[in-house]
Amino acid sequence: VRAARIGVVDGTRLLADARSVVAGRLPGTPAYVHLDVDVCDPQEFAAVSCPVPVGPRAATVAAALAAIAAHHDVVGVGVCEYAPSVAHDVGVLHRLLGALGLTAAC
Q: Is residue 50 part of a domain?
A: yes
CA distance 68 to 17: 13
**What average pLDDT does this structure show over 39-55?**
91
Whether the predicted pLDDT of 106 surpasses 60: no
Whether the predicted pLDDT of 4 surpasses 70: no
Q: Is residue 3 part of a domain?
A: no
Instruction: Record the pTM.
Output: 0.84
Nearest to 1, CA basis, from 75, 67, 102, 80: 75
**Structural domains counted in the chain:** 1
**What average pLDDT does this structure show over 5-28?**
76
Domain containing residue 57: 11-100
Percentage of residues of the chain with pLDDT beyond 70? 86
* pLDDT mean across residues, the chain: 86
Q: Is residue 32 part of a domain?
A: yes
Residue of higher predicted confidence among 23 and 70: 70
Cβ atoms of residues 31 and 65 within 8 Å: no
Q: Is residue 76 part of a domain?
A: yes
Q: Is residue 44 part of a domain?
A: yes
